[in-house]
Each structure stands twice: as structure tokens, then as C-alpha cells.
Amino acid sequence: MSFKKIVKRISIILTVILLIGFFVLENVLPYTGIKPQRRKPEDLTWLLTKGTKPENYGLRARDLTIQVNDSLRLSAYLVDANTDSTLATVVVLHGISACKEVDLERAKVLADAGYASLLPDLRAHGQSGGEYCTFGFYEKNDLRVVADTLARLFPMRPMAIWGASLGGAIALQAMAVEPRFRFGIVESTFDEFDKVSMEYGADWFFGLRSHWLTDHVLAKSGRIAHFEPDSVKPVVSAAQITRPVLFMHGDKDARIPMWFGQRNYEACPAVGKRWYIVRGAGHSNLWRIAGDTMRQEVLRFLKEQSGG
């Protein structure tokens, strides 16, 4: 084969690679975060070992629909405490591409400790409305409407919030704007949206972490979903929270490095804050690694908040 033909073929291959790369950059990556996979409970049977119904977990629950704005409704479970009296209602927030049913085990921990819970499908997840996930930009205001709803239903009952991963980031942002959340539990979350986006982007590009690439993708994501990615900074929200927060993170988390979560903890000025490391745990297996000890840590924190 002549040298000219070799050069021509290489040029064609490089052109095709560049075109594919440009297509992915402009039409795939900007949607990967803001358009999470909308999973139904039956898609998560591998995770929900006791099934998808609250009663399978020893819980008493009813469906609740919350209208957060003119066009968006959240689907939720309202779960009763398993005790004679109820100390508070805890809003429990799932991670990205999940749904409210993944939090039934957390609801069980709460119910047995005397706490009711509200388990919503976040916007653009599960059975809730909404096309795009904005990582707290709009969701924090959804949670203010949730607080309004709980205040109408239970005017004398305190409220709190518990979130994991995406849910943890939203929980911190919600606590910063909604003082009715008396305490929070935050698992495995990030400090700044652009930083965690770069970590996730490295999975696409063989470990490459590019500020330019991240900024370009997020700018387009923001235009598509009509939000400001640069303003999504849970660490800034954490610095405004003076109510107690229990921060938990696995020290082997490859998705959201532990020091992201530690920054949130260190920024929070609350006197009653706590930092709990799950040794050997990654991003999604904290409860599998340290189920009993982690449950005891949560129960200890809950007891402190209830004055027991």
C-alpha cells in the first residue's frame, strides 16, 4: 500500500473519531447527569431484597402527591412511626437514577426509633414529574414545598432530612434555605457540582480530568435544563447550617472521594455536627459493609436530637 493511501486512511479514521467525539461532547455528555435513568421499583429488585412494598419492611405507609409548582408533582410515601408517639418526620432523599423504594430500609430504621418519614421520588425520578435533574438548584425549593405540606399535615411535629449521594447534596442545600429542617443526615455526597462532574467525566475519558471539558459540558447542561451549575455548591450551603448534621462517607469511595464529604463537614458550623467514616466502604455499599455499626451511629444521633 502506497504512503499516500496510508495517510488518506489515517486521515479518514481521525476525522471519524473527531466527529464521533464532537457528537458525544455536544449531544450525549450534557444529558448524562440532567437526564438520569428513570428507574421503576421493579428495575431494582436486585437491590430491594425484601421487595418494593412498605409493608414488606414492617412499615405502615400511604401514597402522597405533592404539587411543588404549576406543572410538577412529586410522588411520595408517607410512613408512620412504629411507636406510640412520633418525635419528628424525616424527609428521606434517594440518589441519582434511583427511586423512593430504595429508602424503605432507612424508613424502617427511623420508624423503629419513633420517627415518621416522607420518601419522595425526586423530580425527574421514579413516578415524579419533571424532565431534568438539577442537583439541588430547583430541588431545594421543592423541599420547601414539602416542608409546607408536612407543616399543614402535622403542624406541631418537627421535621428533619436525610439524603444519600445526590439526595445528600440536595439535603444540605435544602437545610440552608429551609430552617424548619431541625437536623440532617448526609451520606456520601459531593461539595461542588463541577468537581464531582469532573470525577464522573473521568470515567468516560479513561481517567482524564479536564476543567475545559467539564466547564463546556456543564454550560450546555445548564442551558438545556435552565439552571446555573456553577451555583450548585453544597459546601457553601453547609457553611450556612447551624442545626446538627451527621455526615457519613466511605473511605474507599471512588465515585465521590471522601474528602469531598469531609469538606462539607468542616464547613458546617453546627455545634452538634458529627463525622462518621465507614472503613472499607465505597460509594453505594456503606450499609452492606457496616450495617449494624452504622445503624447504631444513626440511632445514637437520632437519640441526641430527640433529647432521649
Strands 61-69 and 72-79: antiparallel
pLDDT recorded at residue 307: 64
Domain residue extents for the chain: 33-192+232-306
Q: What are phi and psi of 94, to 5 degrees?
A: -80, 175
Mean pLDDT of the chain: 91
Over residues 248-281, the pLDDT tens digits come to 999 999 989 999 999 999 999 999 999 999 999 9
- Give CATH superfamily name and number for 33-192+232-306: Alpha/Beta hydrolase fold, catalytic domain (3.40.50.1820)
CA–CA separation, 225 vs 133, rounded Å? 8
- Residues of the chain with confidence (pLDDT) below 70: 1, 3, 5-8, 12, 15-17, 19, 21-23, 25, 201-208, 307-308
pTM of the model: 0.92
| Residue pointed to by grid coordinates 444540605 | 172
CA–CA separation, 164 vs 94, rounded Å? 6
- Give the residue from 187, 158, 156 showing the smallest Cα distance to 171: 187
